[in-house]
């Protein structure tokens, strides 16, 4: 039976959200888009151009719909939770690609999109666990979600997540935001002078996830007092920078991949546990458009991975 003819008395959850926010086409499309962005970052340790804009713009559009539904009290807490968690996984590739400092040149708009989205997501999580889990109507759902097990959204889990938001998420997001603003200033400065490369000082300022500088300062004091040759010191710094590149690449790809797997599990399990009935009509434009978009982004990422490497690029591995 078509979705619009169902009786609201028997429909579990929000019909609007089931059609427009987490229908089969929207969900699978977002899964494919996330997988495609992860594939784009697999190419090398310096790839990922364009991922920030794709990740940020998609997440902003979904967050806008989520905010309208939440403001109008038009969906249940479990639906609000699963959509936010799906968007968290979608945002991860855009944040992790910031490890590639060189990719910030010419990517000011994408950096702005990631910046706005991260702050919006941070506020949305706080709003969800502070108020929405209590005030939103349950709409016939079980009001439970997946978090390694079945948890109630109005019990200890809500308090636990709210504490995490206050003590961990908000402070780290504010520190991250300050660094992103600095990186954005550098990106604008490079753009204004018509250059495609940053200076040494600009690279340091734009390095949002700097892992080497703290270790360099720590060990420099020991090198100053120890009997170590200059050659040995330089060899150590070279090894440290190479180690940083390998660790950054592992985090850049590993974190989005783990979040993507966990998001798919969370969303699909939460839908099943709450007896939600999302739209399965791929013929409707609202489902077909994001589904086709997801296929295109996934195929683009696949082609990036399969493209033959140049020698210089292969050496970067």
Tokens for 189, please give them: 């400065």
User: Which pLDDT score is estimated for 106?
Assistant: 72
Q: φ and ψ at 146, to 5 degrees?
A: -90, 125
Higher pLDDT, 185 or 231: 185
Residue 176 pLDDT grade (very low, low, confident, very high; cuts 50, 70, 90) = confident
Higher pLDDT, 267 or 224: 267
User: Which pLDDT score is estimated for 110?
Assistant: 82
CA atoms within 13 A on the CB side of 301: 22
DSSP string over 173-225 = HHHHHHHHHHHHHHHHHHHHTT-SS--HHHHHHH-TT--HHHHHHHHHHHHHH
User: How far, in Å, CA of 239 to CA of 231, rounded?
Assistant: 12
User: How far, in Å, CA of 243 to CA of 145, rounded?
Assistant: 39
pLDDT for residue 204 is more than 90: no
User: Region 83-106: what's the mean pLDDT?
Assistant: 78
pLDDT tens per residue, range 64-74: 999 999 999 98
User: Which pLDDT score is estimated for 46?
Assistant: 52
Residue 125 pLDDT grade (very low, low, confident, very high; cuts 50, 70, 90) = very high
Higher pLDDT, 285 or 136: 136
Residue 238 pLDDT grade (very low, low, confident, very high; cuts 50, 70, 90) = confident
List the domain boundaries for the chain. 11-210+252-315
User: Which pLDDT score is estimated for 247?
Assistant: 77
Given a contact cutoff of 8 angstroms between Cβ atoms, the answer to whether 180 and 197 are in contact is: no
pLDDT for residue 313 is more than 80: no
User: Region 94-104: what's the mean pLDDT?
Assistant: 73
User: Which pLDDT score is estimated for 64?
Assistant: 92
Higher pLDDT, 11 or 116: 116
User: How far, in Å, CA of 90 to CA of 92, rounded?
Assistant: 6
- Of 122-131, 177-186, 232-241, 253-262, the one with minimum mean pLDDT is 232-241
User: Which pLDDT score is estimated for 8?
Assistant: 44
pLDDT for residue 22 is more than 60: yes
The strand pairing partners of 12, in sequence order, are none
pLDDT for residue 4 is more than 50: no
Tokens for 214, please give them: 């703290």
Question: What's the predicted TM-score (pTM) here?
Answer: 0.79
User: Which pLDDT score is estimated for 271?
Assistant: 92
pLDDT tens per residue, range 39-79: 877 765 555 667 778 788 888 988 999 999 999 998 899 99
User: Which pLDDT score is estimated for 209?
Assistant: 62
> Average pLDDT over the chain, rounded to whole?
79
Percent share of the chain, pLDDT over 90? 17
Higher pLDDT, 231 or 215: 231
Tokens for 246, please give them: 């390998």
Higher pLDDT, 212 or 287: 287
């Amino acid at each position: 039976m078509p979705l619009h003819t169902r009786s609201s008395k028997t429909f579990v959850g929000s019909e609007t959200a089931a059609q427009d926010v987490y229908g089969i086409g929207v969900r699978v499309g977002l899964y494919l888009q996330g997988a495609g962005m992860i594939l784009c970052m697999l190419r090398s340790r310096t790839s990922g151009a364009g991922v920030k804009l794709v990740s940020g713009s998609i997440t902003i559009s979904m967050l806008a719909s989520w905010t309208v539904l939440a403001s109008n009290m038009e969906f249940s807490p479990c639906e609000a939770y699963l959509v936010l968690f799906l968007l968290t996984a979608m945002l991860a590739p855009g944040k992790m690609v910031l490890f590639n400092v060189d990719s910030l040149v010419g990517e000011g708009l994408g950096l702005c999109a990631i910046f706005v989205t991260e702050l919006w997501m941070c506020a949305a999580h706080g709003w969800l666990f502070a108020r929405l889990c209590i005030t939103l109507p349950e709409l016939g759902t079980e009001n439970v979600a997946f978090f390694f097990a079945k948890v109630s959204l109005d019990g200890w889990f809500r308090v636990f997540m709210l504490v995490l938001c206050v003590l961990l998420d908000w402070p780290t997001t504010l520190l991250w935001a300050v660094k992103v603003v600095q990186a954005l200033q550098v990106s604008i400065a490079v753009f204004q002078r018509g250059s495609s490369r940053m200076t040494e000082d600009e690279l340091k300022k734009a390095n949002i996830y700097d892992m080497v500088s703290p270790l360099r300062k720590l060990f420099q004091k020991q090198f100053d007092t120890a009997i170590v040759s200059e050659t040995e010191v330089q060899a150590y710094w070279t090894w440290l920078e190479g180690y940083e590149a390998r660790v950054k690449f592992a985090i850049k790809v590993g974190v989005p991949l783990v979040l993507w797997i966990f998001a798919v599990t969370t969303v699909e399990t939460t839908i099943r546990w709450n007896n939600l009935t999302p739209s399965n009509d791929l013929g409707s434009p609202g489902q077909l458009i994001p589904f086709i978009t997801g296929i295109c982004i996934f195929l683009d990422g696949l082609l990036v991975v399969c493209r033959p490497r140049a020698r210089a690029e292969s050496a970067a591995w």
